[in-house]
Amino acid sequence: MKGISPMIATVLLVAFTVAIGGILILWFITLSRTTTTGAESQAEAIIKCSNANFQILSVDTTNNKATVVHYGSGLKVYPMIATVGATPVTLTGYNAPDPPTITAGQTSTFNLTIGTNTTVKVIALCEYGVINTSIEATCSTPEACWH
């Protein structure tokens, strides 16, 4: 019975090793491109949404209303959550669609119970492509936005 010569066995072993190495390199390149693209998209969304400049224009303590405005970029902003003091509250009474969509330059007013609290914070989602990033605005008692 004859086997393969040591020279042929060595050549086959080297060829097999090079082929496996090539497959691993291609897989690694694809993996790194996919990971980099995902990180770039997230970073781009954070940068774009940081320019959204979402602010509370006024907090009307008499009528329990807050008005927010979206300055800056043309991205959509969705006010989702508010806290009065340290208590989360539901935003109701929008004068915009539900959930309220605020584009650049638009304002939205909603109802919330303020009571004796001295701070209102509104957290919104900034939409950029398929990625959402949260942004927030705060108004406290001594500020001009507090009425």
Q: Kindly tell me the sign of the dihedral angle through the C-alpha atoms of 97, 60, 132, 105.
A: positive
The tens digit of pLDDT for each residue in 34-69 reads 777 667 777 777 777 777 777 888 888 888 888 887
Give how many domains the chain has, as a whole number: 1
Name the residue range of residue 118's domain: 51-140
Q: Does 60 fall in a domain?
A: yes
**Angular region, 146: left φ>0, alpha ψ -120 to 50, beta rest:** beta
Q: Does 100 fall in a domain?
A: yes
State the pLDDT at residue 13: 93
Question: Among 48-57, 69-78, 121-130, whose mean pLDDT is lowest?
Answer: 69-78
More confident residue, 94 or 13: 13
Instruction: Give the span between the Cα atoms of 50 and 98, in whole angstroms.
Output: 23
For the chain, give the mean pLDDT: 78
Q: Does 117 fall in a domain?
A: yes
How many helices (H) does the chain have, and how many strands (E)? 1, 7
Identify the H or E element spanning 132.
Answer: strand 131-140
Q: Does 41 fall in a domain?
A: no
CATH number, domain at 108?
2.60.40
